[in-house]
């Protein structure tokens, strides 16, 4: 199908316009609102909208400036025939369609619309739903302004079937899965989903999973049933084993008990012999003790008598030496007492010499303190006189006005300022002097005699006689008054300053300042001398010197009084005499102290000699007393023993009798021991223990066996509700059946999975083969724009061309939605051209593709490459019609160009 020309009348902005199309390439240019899109719409509607359609669709086509129904005339070629189509869009009433084939009969209205639909291969739009239908019709060929970047599936879906048919025709092995394929694949997928999760795990609740759960449950039941059956089996075994053991023990136990009884009898004999042995052992031991006692007593008495003789021989010389030591001690005592008396006398002489020395030293101190006191008193007196003078001067100074030298300077400055002000005033005043007059001259009413002068500082009146009055004005203007004010102010300042200091005048002030300075100098001299003498501290020094002198006198008094008892050292007149006295008594004291030390040493030596004599006497006296006591004690002891054990003959007979008794007991003991050894009591005891242990063990085993038999018997007494063996066999059979079912279900699940996987992989292979030619066509267009290495991946689904991906050299695949706005427009255009190219086979090898400002995002460089793509489409047989507001951009396209004028 190829468009030849389009004429529109009374259609929106157009009164009447005719556009002729190039068979391959047409560019319609014009500024905005020149009606380019209107022409694209008119061409579309004349083909696809029935003329009698009314409503909004019809009204929006009507022109607001050009009266009359919109009319569109299109000449096109289809199936090798040239057709003239004319429609008047006048609603149901006036709408009309005419279709006339070249050399054929013209068709009108319904017939024409039907024929048109046949030529276009679509159901044209009309009636109530026309607006909705219209946008879908040939939307792949009409690229409306603003919709050029839409997903290809938006406009390829309706043409999918025809596209598939052509693709199948074009490719040798290219096929598309049938509806039956899809149905079966769907059933398989459903079966797969029933069993498996999307992650490929077996789904909970699915048949294989439930079968597996049942197997586990059945296995658990088998385990439980087996446990019950085995428990029963064990009980049977236990019962039999216990029964056998009870029988064995029943046979063994009586023999053991007999053996034990025999051993017990022999053990009784052994025990009795053992008792006798112990009794005889005691008898032998007792006899031995009696014999040893007699022998010991005899020995002790004889040894005592020998020792007594020795003690008596040692005692006599000790008594003689004791007498000599008593005499020596008395002599030493007398000498020691004489030494002590001599020492006491020497000590008394020393005491007296030290008292004299102390009194003389106290007198020296008294005289020294007296001298200090008199010095301090003289100084205090001079300081008091100076202090009185100072006080007089301070009084005089206080009575003078308190004027400092600086104040005097200020007063003098004020006085000068006052003088200067008066002088200035006087310079401005007018002097009136009567030199000579006949008549009375009065100034301001005061008569002024001849030779008198009157100074006027302000306006005054001079009257001469009775008829002459002269007004005199001194100075000029206000200057006189200001001078007078300043003179008065200066005067008042001086007067106030003098009054403030109670001064008569400045001279008086000068005299006062001079006097104050004189007094100040004198006071400083006096104060320096006073401080040199001690100032305020001298009174304290006087007090302390007085107190120290009084203390020295007190000490001296006490020494004198003490000396009075034992004789004084004489009267002392002055300090020199006192010091001479001290020297004198110090020598006497030294002599006395030497004598006292000598006496002490002699006394101590004598005392030591006496102590040694006492010690020697005491030691010997104690030793002698102890020897005497020993002798007496031994004598008493021997006497007591002889009284108890008799004389020597008696003692010898007793010893012999005891020895005979001991021998007899030992012989009896030997006999009993021989009998006991024959019985082997240790062996008997071991036998008894062994047999006791064996019997105990056997009895314990018997009890255990009886208990085991009881418990096993109890377990074997069943309630009869179930038969454990039958239960086990049933459980095992159920487990086997469940396992069989599980195996079957698992195999079926594996089969479904295999089917599902094969369907998926086979479908992908088929799809790839089918869409290869389409992808190649799209890729051919896009290589014009994006370069030679560009490839396209695409899927053909129920929705049309989908999952479009652009793969450029060295880059990862980019899905359509991931492309930029410009790339989307260009890619979508390539899809449209490829689709149109394939579908053109149904329309005589050509289809028009209308681009209405479809490359809004393309930059100038991309526009260049776009022209290459559009030209390729034209070369491949398509009719490309571009409507643009920038026709100059398409200068390189080589198209027929139609220019629309602006409004």
Partner 1 sequence: MTTRFLHSADWQLGKPFATVGDEVKRHRLQVERVQVIRRMAAVVAERALDFVVVAGDLFDSPHVTKATVSAACEAMGLMRVPVLVIPGNHDHGGPGSIWEQAFFLREREQLAPNLRVLLRGEPVVLEKAVVFPAPLLRRHEAGNPVAWVREAVDDAAVPGDLPRIVVAHGTVQGFGGMEDDEEGGAGVANWIDLASLPEGAVDYVALGDWHGTKQVGPVAWYSGTPEIDRFPKGESNDPGNVLVVEAGRGRVPVVEKVATGRFVWKREAFRFSDDASVELFAGRLDECIGERRDEHLLRLVLEGSLGIDAAGRLGRMLESWEARLARLKLEDRVMIAPSAEEIAQLTQRVEDPLIAAVAAALVGRCGGESEDAAVARLALRELYGRLS
Assign 1 to helix, strand or coil: coil
User: Strand pairing of 441-443 and 446-447?
Assistant: antiparallel
Rule CB under 8 A: is residue 771 a binding residue for partner 1?
no
Strands (E), 468-545: 468-472
Rule CB under 8 A: is residue 763 a binding residue for partner 1?
yes
Rule CB under 8 A: is residue 736 a binding residue for partner 1?
yes
Residue 835: CB minimum distance to partner 1, A: 23
Residue 792: CB minimum distance to partner 1, A: 24
Residue 176: CB minimum distance to partner 1, A: 8
Among 267, 755, 772, 856, binds partner 1 (CB under 8 A): 755
**102 token code pair:** 């070249």
Residue 733: CB minimum distance to partner 1, A: 4
Residue 797: CB minimum distance to partner 1, A: 14
Query: Which helix (H) or strand (E) covers residue 542, if one does?
Result: helix 538-566
Residue 183: CB minimum distance to partner 1, A: 8
Residues 50/130, Cβ–Cβ less than 8 Å? yes
Among 568, 724, 822, 894, binds partner 1 (CB under 8 A): 724
Rule CB under 8 A: is residue 844 a binding residue for partner 1?
no
CB under 8 Å, gap of 24 or more: what pairs does 464-473 form?
464/437, 464/439, 464/440, 465/438, 465/439, 465/440, 466/439, 468/439, 472/430, 472/432, 473/430
Q: How far apart are CA 601 and CA 340, in angstroms?
A: 10
Among 286, 485, 725, 789, binds partner 1 (CB under 8 A): 725
Assign 273 to helix, strand or coil: helix
Rule CB under 8 A: is residue 772 a binding residue for partner 1?
no
**531 token code pair:** 């401080």
Among 220, 765, 875, 891, binds partner 1 (CB under 8 A): 765
Q: Which of residues 659-678 bind partner 1 (CB under 8 A)?
A: none
Stretch that binds partner 1, among 373-381, 443-451, 715-723, 775-783 (CB under 8 A): 715-723
Stretch that binds partner 1, among 198-206, 358-366, 529-537, 722-730 (CB under 8 A): 722-730
Rule CB under 8 A: is residue 716 a binding residue for partner 1?
yes
Residues 880/855, Cβ–Cβ less than 8 Å? no
Q: What is the full DSSP assignment across 313-363?
A: HHHHHHHHHHHHHHHHHHHHHHHHHHHHHHHHHHHHHHHHHHHHHHHHHHH
Q: Which of residues 215-234 bind partner 1 (CB under 8 A)?
A: 232
Q: How far is CA 787 from CA 780, 792, 809, 816, in A?
A: 10, 12, 8, 17
Stretch that binds partner 1, among 12-20, 38-46, 541-549, 728-736 (CB under 8 A): 728-736
Give whichever of 262 and 737 is closer to partner 1, judged by the CB atom.
737
531 CA to centre of own chain: 76
Among 326, 733, 809, 891, binds partner 1 (CB under 8 A): 733
3-state SS, one letter per residue, for 205-245: CCHHHHHHHHHHHHHHHHHHHHHHHHHHHHHHHHHHHHHHH
**853 token code pair:** 């400002």
Rule CB under 8 A: is residue 236 a binding residue for partner 1?
yes
Rule CB under 8 A: is residue 732 a binding residue for partner 1?
yes
* Residue closest to 81 by CA, chosen among 100, 97, 98, 106: 100
Backbone angles phi, psi at 82, to 5 degrees: -95, 130
35 CA to centre of own chain: 74
Q: How many Cβ atoms sit within 10 Å of the Cβ of residue 44?
A: 22
Among 109, 150, 151, 181, binds partner 1 (CB under 8 A): 181
The residues pairing with 792 across neighbouring beta strands, listed in sequence order, are 806
Rule CB under 8 A: is residue 164 a binding residue for partner 1?
no
Stretch that binds partner 1, among 16-24, 116-124, 236-244, 630-638 (CB under 8 A): 236-244
Q: How far is CA 543 from CA 367, 376, 379, 380, 553, in A?
A: 17, 9, 13, 11, 16
Q: How far apart are CA 300 and CA 306, in angstroms?
A: 10
Q: How far apart are CA 270 and CA 114, in angstroms?
A: 146
Among 57, 120, 164, 184, binds partner 1 (CB under 8 A): 184
Give whichever of 102 and 757 is closer to partner 1, judged by the CB atom.
757
Among 180, 199, 399, 406, binds partner 1 (CB under 8 A): 180
Rule CB under 8 A: is residue 759 a binding residue for partner 1?
yes
Q: What residues contact residue 750 under an 8 Å CB cut-off, 6+ apart?
A: none
How many residues bind partner 1 (CB under 8 A)? The answer is: 53
Q: How far apart are CA 137 and CA 120, in angstroms?
A: 10
Rule CB under 8 A: is residue 600 a binding residue for partner 1?
no
* Residue closest to 151 by CA, chosen among 706, 802, 630: 802
Rule CB under 8 A: is residue 758 a binding residue for partner 1?
yes
Residue 713: CB minimum distance to partner 1, A: 7
Give whichever of 279 and 762 is closer to partner 1, judged by the CB atom.
762
Rule CB under 8 A: is residue 235 a binding residue for partner 1?
yes
Among 11, 83, 138, 239, binds partner 1 (CB under 8 A): 239
Q: Which of residues 240-259 bind partner 1 (CB under 8 A)?
A: 240, 243
Residue 707: CB minimum distance to partner 1, A: 15
Stretch that binds partner 1, among 184-192, 462-470, 526-534, 785-793 (CB under 8 A): 184-192
* Residue closest to 880 by CA, chosen among 893, 891, 864: 893
Among 462, 617, 712, 858, binds partner 1 (CB under 8 A): 712
Residue 254: CB minimum distance to partner 1, A: 26
Among 750, 813, 875, 891, binds partner 1 (CB under 8 A): 750
Give whichever of 136 and 739 is closer to partner 1, judged by the CB atom.
739
Assign 872 to helix, strand or coil: helix
Give whichever of 399 and 717 is closer to partner 1, judged by the CB atom.
717
Q: In terms of C-beta density within 10 A (0-12 exposed, 13-18 middle, 19 or more buried), how is residue 130 classed?
A: buried
Rule CB under 8 A: is residue 188 a binding residue for partner 1?
yes
Residue 795: CB minimum distance to partner 1, A: 15
Residue 189: CB minimum distance to partner 1, A: 11
Give whichever of 347 and 724 is closer to partner 1, judged by the CB atom.
724
Stretch that binds partner 1, among 259-267, 282-290, 589-597, 749-757 (CB under 8 A): 749-757
Among 266, 531, 701, 748, binds partner 1 (CB under 8 A): 748
Helix 506-532 vs helix 207-399: crossing angle, to nearest 10: 100
Backbone angles phi, psi at 502, to 5 degrees: 55, 50
Among 729, 808, 862, 868, binds partner 1 (CB under 8 A): 729
Residue 728: CB minimum distance to partner 1, A: 9
Q: How far apart are CA 879 and CA 646, in angstroms?
A: 176
Among 80, 93, 178, 395, binds partner 1 (CB under 8 A): 178
Stretch that binds partner 1, among 259-267, 415-423, 752-760, 852-860 (CB under 8 A): 752-760
Query: Which helix (H) or strand (E) covers residue 544, if one does?
Result: helix 538-566
Q: How far apart are CA 48 and CA 69, in angstroms?
A: 18
Rule CB under 8 A: is residue 718 a binding residue for partner 1?
yes
Stretch that binds partner 1, among 34-42, 569-577, 745-753, 815-823 (CB under 8 A): 745-753
Q: How far apart are CA 344 and CA 869, in angstroms?
A: 158
End-to-end C-alpha distance for the chain, whole angstroms: 32
Where do contacts with partner 1 occur on this chain (CB under 8 A)?
A: 175-178, 180-182, 184-185, 187-188, 191, 232, 235-236, 239-240, 243, 712-713, 715-718, 720-727, 729-734, 736-737, 747-748, 750-752, 754-755, 758-759, 762-763, 765-766
């Amino acid at each position: 199908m190829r468009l030849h020309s389009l004429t529109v009348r009374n259609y929106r902005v157009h009164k009447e316009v005719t556009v002729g199309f190039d068979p391959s390439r047409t560019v319609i240019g014009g500024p905005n609102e020149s009606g380019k899109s209107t022409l694209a719409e008119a061409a579309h509607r004349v083909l696809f909208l029935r003329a009698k359609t009314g409503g909004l669709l019809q009204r929006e086509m009507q022109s607001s400036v050009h009266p009359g129904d919109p009319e569109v005339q299109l000449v096109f070629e289809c199936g090798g025939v040239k057709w003239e189509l004319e429609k008047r869009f006048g609603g149901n009433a006036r709408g009309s369609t005419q279709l006339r084939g070249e050399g054929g009969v013209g068709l009108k209205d319904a017939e024409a619309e039907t024929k048109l639909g046949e030529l276009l291969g679509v159901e044209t739009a009309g009636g109530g739903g026309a607006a909705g239908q219209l946008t879908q019709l040939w939307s792949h060929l009409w690229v409306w302004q603003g919709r050029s970047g839409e997903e290809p599936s938006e406009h390829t879906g309706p043409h999918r079937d025809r596209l598939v048919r052509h693709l199948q025709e074009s490719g040798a092995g290219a096929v598309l899965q049938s509806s039956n394929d899809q149905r079966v694949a769907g059933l398989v997928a459903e079966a797969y989903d029933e069993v498996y999760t999307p992650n490929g795990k077996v789904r909970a609740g699915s048949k294989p999973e439930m079968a597996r759960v049942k197997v586990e449950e059945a296995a658990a039941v088998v385990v439980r049933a087996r446990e019950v059956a085995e428990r029963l089996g064990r009980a049977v075994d236990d019962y039999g084993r216990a029964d056998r053991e009870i029988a064995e023990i029943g046979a063994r136990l009586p023999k053991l008990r007999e053996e034990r009884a025999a051993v017990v009898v022999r053990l009784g004999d052994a025990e009795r012999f053992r008792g006798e042995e112990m009794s005889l052992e005691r008898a032998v031991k007792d006899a031995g003790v009696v014999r040893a006692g007699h022998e010991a007593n005899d020995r002790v008495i004889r040894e005592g008598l020998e020792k007594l003789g020795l003690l008596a021989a040692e005692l006599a010389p000790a008594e003689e030496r004791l007498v000599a030591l008593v005499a020596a001690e008395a002599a030493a005592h007398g000498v020691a007492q004489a030494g002590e008396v001599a020492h006491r006398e020497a000590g008394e002489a020393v005491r007296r010499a030290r008292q004299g020395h102390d009194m003389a030293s106290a007198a020296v101190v008294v005289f020294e303190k007296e001298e200090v006191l008199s010095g301090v008193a003289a100084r205090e007196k001079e300081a008091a006189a100076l202090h009185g003078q100072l006080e007089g001067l301070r009084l005089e100074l206080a009575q003078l006005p308190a004027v400092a030298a600086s104040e005097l300077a200020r007063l003098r400055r004020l006085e000068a300022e006052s003088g200067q002000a008066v002088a200035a005033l006087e310079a401005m005043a007018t002097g009136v002097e009567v030199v000579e007059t006949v008549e009375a001259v009065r100034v301001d009413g005061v008569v002024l005699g001849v030779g008198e002068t009157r100074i006027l500082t302000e306006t005054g009146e001079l009257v001469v006689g009775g008829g002459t009055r002269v007004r005199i004005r001194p100075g000029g203007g206000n200057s006189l008054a200001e001078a007078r004010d300043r003179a008065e102010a200066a005067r008042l300042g001086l007067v106030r300053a003098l009054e403030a200091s109670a001064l008569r005048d400045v001279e008086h002030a000068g005299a006062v300042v001079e006097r104050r300075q004189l007094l100040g100098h004198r006071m400083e001299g006096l104060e320096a001398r006073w401080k040199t003498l001690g100032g305020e501290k001298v009174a304290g020094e006087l007090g302390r010197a007085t107190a120290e002198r009084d203390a020295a006198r007190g000490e001296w008094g006490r020494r004198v009084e003490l000396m009075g008892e034992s004789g004084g050292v004489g009267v002392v007149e002055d300090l020199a005499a006192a010091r001479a006295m001290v020297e004198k008594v110090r020598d006497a004291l030294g002599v006395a102290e030497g004598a006292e030390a000598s006496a002490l040493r002699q006394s101590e030596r004598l005392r030591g000699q006496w102590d040694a004599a006492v010690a020697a006497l005491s030691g010997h006296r104690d030793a002698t007393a102890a020897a005497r006591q020993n002798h007496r004690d031994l004598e008493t002891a021997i006497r007591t023993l002889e009284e108890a054990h008799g004389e020597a003959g008696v003692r010898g007979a007793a010893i012999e009798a005891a020895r005979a008794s001991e021998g007899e007991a030992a012989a009896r003991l030997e006999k009993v021991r021989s009998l006991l050894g024959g019985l082997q009591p240790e062996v008997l005891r071991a036998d008894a223990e062994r047999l006791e242990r064996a019997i105990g063990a056997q009895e314990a085993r018997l009890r255990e066996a009886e208990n085991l038999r009881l418990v096993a018997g109890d377990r074997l007494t069943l309630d009869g509700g179930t038969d454990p063996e039958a239960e086990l066999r049933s459980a095992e059979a159920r487990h086997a059946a469940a396992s069989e079912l599980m195996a079957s279900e698992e195999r079926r699940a594996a089969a479904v999975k295999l089917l599902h996987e094969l369907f998926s992989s086979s479908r992908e292979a088929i799809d790839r083969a089918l869409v290869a030619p389409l992808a190649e066509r799209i890729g051919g267009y896009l290589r014009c724009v994006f370069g030679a290495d560009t490839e396209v991946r695409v899927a053909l689904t129920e929705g049309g061309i989908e999952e479009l991906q652009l793969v450029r050299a060295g880059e990862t695949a980019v899905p359509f939605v991931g492309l930029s706005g410009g790339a989307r427009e260009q890619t979508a255009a390539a899809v449209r051209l490829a689709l149109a190219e394939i579908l053109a086979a149904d329309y005589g090898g050509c289809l028009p593709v209308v681009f209405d400002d479809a490359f809004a995002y393309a930059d100038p460089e991309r526009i260049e490459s776009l022209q290459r793509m559009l030209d390729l489409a034209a070369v491949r047989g398509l009719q490309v019609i571009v409507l643009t507001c920038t026709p100059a951009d398409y200068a390189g396209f080589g198209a027929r160009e139609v220019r629309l004028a602006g409004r």
